[in-house]
A and B are shown apart, each in its own frame.
Chain A
Amino acid sequence: MKLQRLIPLALFLAAVGLLAAGLALGQPRDVLAKAARVCLECIGVG
């Protein structure tokens, strides 16, 4: 039971670690830069 609860906890901690690293590197800005313009390839006209 303990292990069963520890796995999601470990995954959440890993997620927080990755998010923190991404935030520290300013990666949300990269996501925004890509998403703020129409991606012509994505809609099939690029």
Chain B
Amino acid sequence: MDNKLRGRVQFVAALVQNADLRGFFTGRIDQGAQKAVCVPGLNCYSCPGALMSCPIGSLQAFLSARPVKVPYYVAGLLLFFGALLGRAVCGFLCPFGWIQELLHKIPFPRKKLGTFPGDRLLRRLKYLVLAGLVVLVPMLLTDWTPAFCKYLCPAGTLEGGVPLVLLHGERLHLEVGPLFFWKLFILVAVVLSGMAIYRPFCKYLCPLGALYAPFNRVALYRMRLSEDRCVACGKCARVCPMQVDPSKTPNSGECIRCGVCVGACPTKALRLGVREKQGQGIRDKGQGIRDKGQGIRD
């Protein structure tokens, strides 16, 4: 799939998830039964246009209940999306990921950066955010919940906070205080860094990215590398906006399945899809499964 088509899919996905455009004018959020379903990506359910629910917000709501409710339903949905798509959810269906891609297209006063210094370490932060702010804090410190939404999530500020406060703040008696300015600061930081580097929030902070990352190795939709065709030119690694080397780790947890490497490969050694092409010396790295009979190895 070329990048233009992916952009269209992202646009349609964002629109479908936020199709209640009247909400922006009325200041009311949708209360339909479909809101009992969580979307696969990060999309605030307090966005006036949101038709469905945020999985991270819902997860925190269950874990902060007393007694704690095991979130079977949300976990089932996330497991389903993960097993089907892995982080292709980030690359195709996440509205906030798409917004960051659009931000990256804006010319930046200084030269665009590939990553921040300490990139490898910073990428582990998202696992801490998932374990700490999404799971542990809601379970242990009820007053702080929903910790991720409350203190970190820029999607809630952008999609819900800013439009509701600007358009309907007075009527809805929304009082802007230090918390709002803190969240605005986070949003501005994400917007500015998003202009400088590709998808900084996805790379470093998104708990959904952390949750879907391990599924890249086993999801139905994944990348295959044909070793017979690969000439180790390194072009795929050079064009990857997420700084993954698909010739070494085609199913890295950092890959969002944007497919830029597939388009750049001069020998068509990389392939994204569901079905296996057999007998081509295909490498499915990270799978941890060896099956000599089919020419697939770890």
Contact = CB atoms under 8 A, between A and B. Distances in A.
B interface, size bucket: 35 or more
B160 A38 contact: yes
A43 B73 contact: no
B179 A45 contact: yes
A31 B53 contact: yes
Interface string B174-192: 1111011011100000000
Given A23-B73, A34-B57, A36-B31, A44 B79 contact: no
A43 B79 contact: no
B62 to A, nearest CB: 7
A38 B220 contact: no
A44 B76 contact: no
B291 A3 contact: yes
B79 A42 contact: no
A43 to B, nearest CB: 4
Interface in A9-46: 11-12, 14-23, 25, 27-32, 34-46
Query: Contact residue range for chain A?
Result: 35 or more
B46 A36 contact: no
A45 B35 contact: no
A17 B145 CA distance: 28
B149 interface: yes
Interface string B61-77: 11001000101111111
Interface string B12-54: 0000000000000000011101011110000011100010111
A35 B45 contact: yes
B91 interface: no
A43 B157 contact: yes
Nearest to B293: A1
Contacts of A20: 76
A34 B45 contact: yes
A45 to B, nearest CB: 5
Contact of B58 (A7, A34, A43): A34
Contacts of A23: 73
B83 interface: yes
Nearest to A12: B83
B57 A4 contact: no
B291 A4 contact: yes
Nearest to B34: A32
Contacts of A8: 83-84, 218-220
19 contacts: A4-B287, A7-B218, A8-B219, A11-B79, A12-B84, A19-B76, A28-B36, A32-B53, A34-B58, A35-B45, A36-B35, A38-B172, A39-B160, A41-B146, A41-B179, A42-B156, A44-B161, A45-B179, A45-B180
Interface of A: 1-4, 7-8, 11-12, 14-23, 25, 27-32, 34-46
Given A27-B73, A44-B179, 20 more contacts: A3-B291, A4-B296, A16-B80, A19-B72, A21-B72, A27-B62, A27-B72, A28-B36, A35-B35, A38-B164, A39-B46, A39-B146, A42-B146, A42-B156, A43-B46, A43-B156, A43-B160, A43-B164, A43-B174, A46-B150
